[in-house]
Amino acid sequence: MKKFTNYAPGPRGITLKSGETVWLQPGQSESVDPKDIVDPLPDFGSPAAEQDTSELEAITAERDELKVQVAEQAKELEGLRADLEKATKPAK
């Protein structure tokens, strides 16, 4: 038995001689007997390198900063809308 791991972003299938397909979701591993496999195998991708982790951390930090900025702008917009509503309300 040989262990296959799908590192690709989408599902990948291993076609067997029986006509069955073993589907691997992203990150999933499965052991399959190589004698039962119909070639060619799909591209399973490769494990993420350590530098990819640092890039992901930088993107995550930027995303978090942007979430804070959007929340602050939403509060500001809410205040401006309230001011506009007060200014355009007819006096009684």
Please report the pLDDT score of residue 57 as a whole number. 84
Q: What is the pLDDT of residues 51-83, one digit of tens each?
A: 466 778 888 999 999 999 999 999 999 999 999
- Domain range for 7 is 2-36
Exposure string of 14-41, with b = 16+ CB inside 10 Å and e = fewer, is: bbeeeeeeeebeeeeeeebeeeebeeee
**The predicted structure's pLDDT at residue 51:** 47
Task: Note whether 56 and 88 are same-domain residues.
Answer: yes
Number of domains the chain is built from: 2
Q: Band of the pLDDT at 3, cuts 50, 70, 90?
A: very high
Q: Is residue 41 part of a domain?
A: no
Distance (Å, rounded) from C-alpha 74 to C-alpha 79?
9
Mean pLDDT, rounded, for 28-33:
96
Residues 6+ apart with CB under 8 A from 58: none
Residue 71: how many CB atoms within 10 A of its CB?
10
57 and 88 co-located in one domain: yes
